Amino acid sequence: MIVTIIMFIISVFLEGLVPNLLREITPFFVIAIIIIGSFNVKDKKIFYITCFITGVIYDLMYFNMIFLHGFIYVFLAFLSYKMLGEKSFFIKSLVSYFILIIAYVLILLLFTFLLKKRTIYEIIHLLYDGVVINILYYSLVYLVFSVINWVFGNRLKKRTY
């Protein structure tokens, strides 16, 4: 759980840093942690609370709406649990990552429609431009979580003998 919280914090800061360094790219790094964390964290209640707090921090840092991302991240965590189940493979989790990105963008557009009207081209541009960097980040985070689970899983098995 500690690793998940640390990865949430890193992802929140990277989501603010990457668009400043690489123009025209929209990162969805927190959603990657929601998916990978959903099959690494055993206690759902604590994970939902962590997602909500991450969303509130995200809103305080980058948006004017305080609880919007908190509720969106909890909803995405719920969807992630439902889509992935107990075990997940890389391809299955990557497909669910893209499904959650589309759901996130549509939910965000639904709630912010009155503030800024967007065209279909802008929505597709928002989803399409960051595909490569989002896949790379997701793969890296998936690898880090897999190695951490493998190392700690082997240590726990050795202690039980």
Buried b vs exposed e over 117-149: b needs ≥16 C-beta within 10 Å?
eeeeeeeeebbeebeebbeebbeebbeebeeee
**pLDDT exceeds 50 at position 160:** no
CA–CA separation, 37 vs 47, rounded Å?
8
The residues near 53 (Cβ < 8 Å, ≥ 6 apart) are 70
Tokens of 61: 């840092």
For residue 161, what pLDDT is reported?
45
CA–CA separation, 124 vs 140, rounded Å?
25
Residues 5 and 53 sit within 8 Å (Cβ to Cβ): no
Tokens of 117: 């009207």
Determine the length of the chain.
161
- What average pLDDT is seen over the chain? 83
Whole-model pTM: value is 0.82
- Per the structure, the complete domain to which residue 68 belongs is given by 2-160
69-117: pLDDT as tens digits: 899 999 999 999 888 876 668 888 888 888 998 888 888 888 877 777 7
Residues 77 and 38 sit within 8 Å (Cβ to Cβ): yes
For residue 48, what pLDDT is reported?
92
Tokens of 69: 């991302």
CA distances from 117 to 2, 32, 101, 108, 109 (A): 39, 27, 19, 12, 8
17-65: pLDDT as tens digits: 888 787 777 788 888 888 888 877 778 899 999 999 999 998 888 887 8
**pLDDT exceeds 60 at position 150:** yes
**What total of structural domains would you count in the chain?**
1
